[in-house]
Structure 1
Amino acid sequence: MEPPPEAARASRTVTPTVIALAAALFALTALSLTVGAGEVGPGRVLDYLLDRDGARANARLSLVVGDLRLPRTLTALLVGSALGVAGCLLQAVTRNPLAETGLLGVNAGASLGVVAGIALFGFDSGYAYLVCAFTGAVVASGLVLLIAGRRGGGSPMRLVLAGAALGATFGGLTNVLVVNSAETYDTFRFWVLGSLAGVEGTGELTRLAPVLALGFLLALLVTRPLSALALGDDLARGLGHRPGLIRTAVAVAVTLLTAAAVALAGPISFLGLLAGFLARALAGTRLAARLLLAGLIGASVLVAADVAARVVSRPYEAPVSVIVALIGAPVLIAIVRSKHLASLGMTDPAAEEGPSGARRSGDRGGDRGGDRGGRAARGARGARAARGARLAWAARVRGEVAVRGEVAVRRGPFSLLLPYRPAFAVLGLLLVVGCAVTLSAYAGQSDMGLARTFRAVFGYGDHFDVLLVQKFRLGRIVAGLAAGAALGLAGCLTQTLARNRLATPELLGVNDGATAAVLVSVSLSASGTFGAWWAGPVGALVAVLVVTAVSGGLGQRGYRVLVVGLAMSALASAVTQVVLARRSLNSASSLYVWTSGSLNGRGYSVAVPVLIGLAVLVPLALAVGRGLRVLRFDDATAASLGSRPARTRLLCLLLAVALAGLAVGVCGPVGFVALASPVIASRLSGPLRVPLLGSMLTGAALVVLADTLGRIVFDGTELPVGVVSAVLGGPFLLWVLLGRSAATRV
């Protein structure tokens, strides 16, 4: 049997491609050895390498070439190859073109290990970094493959978002260590950018070379069994392989390669994704050729990025990870916009489920090669269920049937249909908000009981108690309530708009875009303060316009919106890290706390813009509530029910952007509040409602409670509210991803 045309074509192009990449890598290596500080030209470098005329005895040449350029170039070659091979292995074992050590949280786990070593044990050597990075990477790799091993867990969107959850959790724990130590932060803020500038001599590389060699050897040994695993676990067992052992070997190889790379150069994201995807495009399904090409591509890209980092901002050096992100983010966008996306294993979640969670005709069973008759039957049942749900919803919207659990309230010409369950949910959430406010005002007041604090919140009781609570505590609480309500409402709007529970401002790039805009405005400001209050909404608007334009519109391709949002977040985060790295330690430390999400120093004056915004935007959101409910269906169904989907989508998008931007301006990018609030509110009010008010109240309560927890968890040290929400929100996102409920299925 002849191979498919695509496979034959890929086979014919592998050898010429390998030769071309090897030649390009050789040229880049030569360029790397001749570019940089020291004013040593190509001729003198060649003299040193060949030891002509005793060049190696020259102290200056020995320093520039032997101690700086040569070790740095070798490190770039090995680190780039390691990340490329690791990314290719992850893509193969998960059968997911978006799998990569940075996107799947492995880099964040390794980074947490290194920061813990610096902060807790005072480590300052590459070998010590390896031990710490290895521990963190082991945990992250194990969790990633555990998710991939679950039924349906290997789907591209679920793995990417699970990686985002793991990365956020590990990042939050990293921030817990960093914000409590200025010395650790001073080291961390440069290391986290990913750089080869600190490589001097071959000592660190020599100690880590055996680890890299072992990782490459394992990658070579698992090539054949991993190719069999691509056929499915049953067929792999039939060929004599053990799938569990194969996945474990891949996890060990990825961990060794990633841990050593992070220890040498810091976390560099997107490189494994870029190398693995291009290798697959060039070599097809031939795993051995893909691994070879991924190693060559990774090494070439990192060497080229390192050379660019030395020349683009002389006499300074640009962070190499920023340059790699500028290359990798467009490639990630190209992946999700590819016409051959279906062949890469990508699916559209919006097309897989009906409004009530029923599977449509494109059931996953068809993707697994099930029988046509069963697939057709399932498709017919799904279509009937979806059609029935649409008809029931249409009847309800037109008022043709009475819905159980609702009561009509009429006063003269006005009438209101009041549902019992959502009404009780709102009342319960109001009670929770009141308790959260009281607890936050009480926390830290050792001489005041809860009863006195509760009275002081409302202006009753001792004059000193009222002054202490309302002047020094309540302002910060009001700022937290306003920001939380704005985030909760923004999350509800974006989730309903994209028809995806996981489409939140932070995952759409809105928060990072607003943060980067605020920090850029600080850098451009003569006073260096947060005077540009409008920078947050403007940055959020720019980010969401880019995400929407590139992804092709919200609600049409849910996975595109989310993945493009991840790319946008990576670029904006790189800008943020560069701004922080270029400021003084004191200024950078205070700004870093804000970029983690903090209410420290916030009061009534800061909360006023958000309160005004809420007063204007909440009535608008409630007014479009009916349009949001029917927008859960496709555009044709929504239009048949009297809605205008395009106008409703645009209005909701602008509302969400404005709310998220204002919230970031108050307390920075507080993560996962926009995700958790609508999910919790929907569980309380029922799945048929768009819980706008419930999401607002839930978000307000979550921010205030997280801020309270951050103030009391460590005696004498305050954790930013964003750090607390990230540490607790990551596991929550994993629960949403892995839950069996149709309401939270991705």
Structure 2
Amino acid sequence: MTLSHVDTVAEAAGAPAPPPPPRGSRTRLATATAALALAVLVLAALSLTTGAAGNVGTGDVADYLLGRHGARDNSRLALVVGDLRIPRTLTALLVGAALGTSGSLLQAVTRNPLAETGLLGVNAGASLGVVTGIALAGVSSGYGHLLWAFGGALTAGALVLLAAGRRGGGSPVRLVLAGSALGATFGGITSIVVVNSAETYDRYRSWILGSLAGVEGLGELTGLLPVLAAGFAVALLVVRPLSALALGDDLARGLGHRPATVRATVAVAVTLLTAASVALVGPVSFLGLLAGFLARAVAGPRLTAQILLAGLIGAGVLTGADVLARVVSRPFEAPVSVVVALIGAPVLIGIVRSRRLTATGLTGPATDTDGNPAPATRRARPETDPGPGLVLRRGRLSLLVPRRPLLATLALAALLLAAVVLAAHAGQSDMGLTRTFRAVLGSGDHFDVLLVQEFRLGRIVAGLAAGAALGLAGCLTQTLARNRLATPELLGVNDGATAAVLVSTTLTGTFGAWWAGPLGAFAAVLLVTALSGGTGQRGHRVLVVGLATSALASAVTQVVLARRSLSSATSLYVWTSGSLNGRGYGVAGPMLLGLAVLVPLALVVARRLNVLRFDDATAASLGVAPDRVRLFCLLLAVALAGLAVGVCGPVGFVALASPVIAGRVVGAGRVPVVAAALTGAVLVVVADTLGRLVLGGAEIPVGIVTTVLGGPFLLWVLLGRSSAARL
């Protein structure tokens, strides 16, 4: 789970129950259910009659199923239909239904129509299990992958439940934030193993795409059928108490239900269904989100109908995607998860642009975990900096510099200088810190200066610039959204920039086109804003379209990696994890020029952003045009994030953590523009240094280091006692 999902969860969690359905909706619901069931049957029939064995047609399949004309004694039909197509079709139907049901349950328990199954960390746990099995136990078979994936998924689900239930009884926000944080850490550990073993990555990259091509016989499905049955049974049992929970915790308790127990039970059901699904076909992202969202749009507020329709939609979409995966790139098969994204993203965008937003729950104002209005409607906190600050005068001009932000900025600058010196010193056993410090400043021994400034400082400066850009971009988006979980990833910026760089690599044959990052970022944002109809009051539309755009861009990235040779794909995978390897003055120079232009613009707009912390009416009365300021800040954030991705790939958590840390240091009531940039620079430089030192001769990409450390940070910041206040 990328963190763009976490942003939407924190904003929409606790939304009020939708209005009751209009008269006549039961007839429409029955008609929709019958139509979906018929569609699933048709897709299942297509799945049984479609495959590489073109001479096995509809009549042969019907003869085999009905036992006519001695078809079951035909060894070829027994192999193609009995051992391949029937097990594959049944697996697609059951896995699709499981993922659809899981998505609907998770959206209901979090009261957020944008939640999806990856939020519980189950996919990341399964991936870590598979990688561990490949690297440590030499697992190469599909059944071995199944066992390790299932074990990793269950372990992840159990850890999430423990982390979420330590305080607060497992509230909706706490549950998904714990899953997102631990899932990010699991993903980082997985990447550490993968980037240091080409053989492990070669096996892993085919599994991670999600596919039903390896389904042969009913053995694997039979082995996990009890788990799927248990998950479906728990889902059915929890429908009634979950419906009561939609009325609010107090009313649910009055009706005899225990909210914490209900949420934990839902998490168990989702874990069982998702773990079995990932073990069977690999991680198929986006399907749970799509099925739950569409089911809510069709069924309205009826939870039982939502879950039933979500299961049907999930089964139909995955079966249809598997059919398309077999025919779109014959004689090869396309990854089914990519096909799901290509099918689901346009459908989701079409639904969110329709007039049925009330049914999807995207029009009501968000509330926090206490039932209060979301941060977007709160007034800014008063300034808490002690003392009047320093007054700088020159003639008739004067400038008031607040004391605490000034001291904090100076301290962060000193910390950044220390981080640069340590990074330059790392790996140089014969050079002390004093000599390194002098070499960084350009004095001292000529050989020291040459070694540090020519061979090390270029990479450090590139990381410094990228970190500053990410920190500043995160500061702008968090302030703009009035949500400490908002990052540029929310609008598909990171995925769009990453896909653009990889596509440019494929077209030009050379890697290193940093300029493709900003172009891809702007393309993603233009697509999001055009399809969503703009920002402002349509902010929820932006969230949905952003998720869909990210899924499409991620699908492009996975296809590019899957079609490259192993050596090329391995190096590109390292970059897509966030890496400064091979980066120097060639990319640091343009980055610094970009920062020289964008940072002053951010400082100019920061004053108006302070005003936007109040409501729009108050801002307009003070002479600030909210829409113009939002658009300008959005463009700044996109440019900064796109530059950073173009330099070092998508480095996670820096855009999230930097403004949070800077805000704590600078104090409330101010937009920490400079402090956030300095904090981001420190984080990237320190993480890159750790990545070069931890494993000795091997190097861990900076993005993996920040991801591994970012999960615990997210837990600390967002799951503490005052998390509700901080959101």
Regarding TM over 0.5, the answer is: yes
Q: Per the alignment, in what secondary structure is the counterpart of residue 6 of structure 1?
A: coil
Measured against aligned partners, the alpha-carbon deviations of 1:343-362 in whole angstroms (never above 9, x if no partner) come to: 7666777x769xxxxx9xxx
Counterpart residue identity of residue 544, structure 1: V
Counterpart residue identity of residue 542, structure 1: A
1:375-386 equivalence runs, <5 A: 386=379
Counterpart residue identity of residue 628, structure 1: L
Q: Per the alignment, in what secondary structure is the counterpart of residue 572 of structure 1?
A: helix
Match of residue 713, structure 1, among 694, 699, 709: 694
Q: Per the alignment, in what secondary structure is the counterpart of residue 21 of structure 2?
A: helix
**Hey, what does 1:544 align to over in structure 2?**
525
1:176-325 equivalence runs, <5 A: 176-232=192-248, 243-325=259-341
**Hey, what does 1:90 align to over in structure 2?**
106
- Report whether the alignment pairs 1:679 with 2:686: no
Question: Structure 1 421/304 Cα, relative in aligned 2: closer, same or farther at 3 Å?
Answer: same
Question: Structure 1 211/186 Cα, relative in aligned 2: closer, same or farther at 3 Å?
Answer: same
**Hey, what does 1:375 align to over in structure 2?**
none
**Hey, what does 1:453 align to over in structure 2?**
436
**Hey, what does 2:464 align to over in structure 1?**
481
Tell whether the 8 Å contact from 1:498 to 1:554 is kept in structure 2 after alignment: no
Question: Structure 1 700/240 Cα, relative in aligned 2: closer, same or farther at 3 Å?
Answer: closer
1:334-345 equivalence runs, <5 A: none
1:720 CA drift (Å): 0.4
**Hey, what does 1:666 align to over in structure 2?**
647
Distance across 1 between alignment mates of 2:275 and 2:353: 32
Question: Structure 1 625/214 Cα, relative in aligned 2: closer, same or farther at 3 Å?
Answer: closer
**Hey, what does 1:616 align to over in structure 2?**
597
Match of residue 511, structure 1, among 487, 494, 505: 494
1:341-352 equivalence runs, <5 A: none
Tell whether the 8 Å contact from 1:441 to 1:474 is kept in structure 2 after alignment: yes
Tell whether the 8 Å contact from 1:606 to 1:666 is kept in structure 2 after alignment: yes
**Hey, what does 1:42 align to over in structure 2?**
58
Q: TM-score, normalised by structure 1?
A: 0.86
Measured against aligned partners, the alpha-carbon deviations of 1:179-217 in whole angstroms (never above 9, x if no partner) come to: 111111111112111111222222222222232223223
Distance across 2 between alignment mates of 1:343 and 1:283: 8
- Report whether the alignment pairs 1:462 with 2:445: yes
Farther off after superposition, 439-448 or 424-433: 439-448
Question: Structure 1 345/699 Cα, relative in aligned 2: closer, same or farther at 3 Å?
Answer: same
Tell whether the 8 Å contact from 2:296 to 2:360 is kept in structure 1 after alignment: no
1:22-101 equivalence runs, <5 A: 22-39=37-54, 40-101=56-117
Tell whether the 8 Å contact from 1:127 to 1:208 is kept in structure 2 after alignment: no
Counterpart residue identity of residue 119, structure 1: A
**Hey, what does 1:356 align to over in structure 2?**
none
**Hey, what does 1:729 align to over in structure 2?**
710
Measured against aligned partners, the alpha-carbon deviations of 1:363-404 in whole angstroms (never above 9, x if no partner) come to: 92699xxxxxxxxxxx9xx99x94xx79x99xx9xxxxx994
Tell whether the 8 Å contact from 1:498 to 1:556 is kept in structure 2 after alignment: no
- Report whether the alignment pairs 1:632 with 2:616: no
RCO higher in 1 or 2 (8 Å CA, sep ≥ 6)? 2
**Hey, what does 2:371 align to over in structure 1?**
364
Distance across 1 between alignment mates of 2:677 and 2:20: 55
**Hey, what does 1:372 align to over in structure 2?**
none
**Hey, what does 1:651 align to over in structure 2?**
632
Counterpart residue identity of residue 283, structure 2: P
Q: Per the alignment, in what secondary structure is the counterpart of residue 461 of structure 1?
A: coil
Match of residue 35, structure 2, among 10, 17, 20: 20
Question: Structure 1 79/672 Cα, relative in aligned 2: closer, same or farther at 3 Å?
Answer: same
1:406 CA drift (Å): 2.2
Counterpart residue identity of residue 190, structure 1: S
Distance across 1 between alignment mates of 2:177 and 2:557: 22
Counterpart residue identity of residue 580, structure 1: L
Q: Per the alignment, in what secondary structure is the counterpart of residue 444 of structure 1?
A: coil
1:409-428 equivalence runs, <5 A: 409-428=392-411
Counterpart residue identity of residue 82, structure 2: G
Distance across 1 between alignment mates of 2:258 and 2:306: 22
Tell whether the 8 Å contact from 1:97 to 1:345 is kept in structure 2 after alignment: yes
Counterpart residue identity of residue 702, structure 2: V
Distance across 1 between alignment mates of 2:449 and 2:360: 62
Measured against aligned partners, the alpha-carbon deviations of 1:144-178 in whole angstroms (never above 9, x if no partner) come to: 6564996697567x876665444433322221121
Distance across 1 between alignment mates of 2:364 and 2:182: 23
Unaligned 5+ segments in structure 1 are 354-358, 368-378, 397-401
- Report whether the alignment pairs 1:173 with 2:189: yes
Q: Per the alignment, in what secondary structure is the counterpart of residue 410 of structure 1?
A: strand
Question: Structure 1 348/632 Cα, relative in aligned 2: closer, same or farther at 3 Å?
Answer: farther
Question: Structure 1 641/365 Cα, relative in aligned 2: closer, same or farther at 3 Å?
Answer: closer
**Hey, what does 1:436 align to over in structure 2?**
419
Sequence identity, in percent? Answer: 73
Tell whether the 8 Å contact from 2:387 to 2:403 is kept in structure 1 after alignment: no
Distance across 2 between alignment mates of 1:164 and 1:205: 28
Unaligned 5+ segments in structure 2 are 1-18
Q: Per the alignment, in what secondary structure is the counterpart of residue 409 of structure 1?
A: strand
Distance across 1 between alignment mates of 2:195 and 2:74: 45
Measured against aligned partners, the alpha-carbon deviations of 1:18-49 in whole angstroms (never above 9, x if no partner) come to: 43332222211111111121112212222333
Q: TM-score, normalised by structure 2?
A: 0.88
Measured against aligned partners, the alpha-carbon deviations of 1:393-438 in whole angstroms (never above 9, x if no partner) come to: 9xx9xxxxx9942222112344322221111111101110011011
1:14 CA drift (Å): 4.5
Question: Structure 1 488/719 Cα, relative in aligned 2: closer, same or farther at 3 Å?
Answer: same
**Hey, what does 2:12 align to over in structure 1?**
none
Distance across 1 between alignment mates of 2:198 and 2:596: 40
The root-mean-square deviation of aligned C-alpha atoms, in Å, is 3.3
Q: Per the alignment, in what secondary structure is the counterpart of residue 506 of structure 1?
A: helix
Q: Per the alignment, in what secondary structure is the counterpart of residue 254 of structure 1?
A: helix
**Hey, what does 1:577 align to over in structure 2?**
558
Q: Per the alignment, in what secondary structure is the counterpart of residue 698 of structure 2?
A: coil
1:255 CA drift (Å): 1.8
Tell whether the 8 Å contact from 1:348 to 1:557 is kept in structure 2 after alignment: no
Counterpart residue identity of residue 45, structure 2: A
1:602 CA drift (Å): 1.1
1:745 CA drift (Å): 3.2
Question: Structure 1 494/230 Cα, relative in aligned 2: closer, same or farther at 3 Å?
Answer: closer
Measured against aligned partners, the alpha-carbon deviations of 1:208-244 in whole angstroms (never above 9, x if no partner) come to: 2232223223333434444454455565556555555
Question: Structure 1 207/493 Cα, relative in aligned 2: closer, same or farther at 3 Å?
Answer: same
Counterpart residue identity of residue 624, structure 1: V
Q: Per the alignment, in what secondary structure is the counterpart of residue 583 of structure 2?
A: coil
**Hey, what does 1:534 align to over in structure 2?**
515
Q: Per the alignment, in what secondary structure is the counterpart of residue 208 of structure 1?
A: helix
Measured against aligned partners, the alpha-carbon deviations of 1:103-130 in whole angstroms (never above 9, x if no partner) come to: 4433222222222222222233444434
Farther off after superposition, 325-334 or 415-424: 325-334
Aligned length: 707
Counterpart residue identity of residue 609, structure 1: P
Tell whether the 8 Å contact from 1:155 to 1:346 is kept in structure 2 after alignment: no
Tell whether the 8 Å contact from 1:499 to 1:558 is kept in structure 2 after alignment: no
Farther off after superposition, 59-68 or 504-513: 59-68
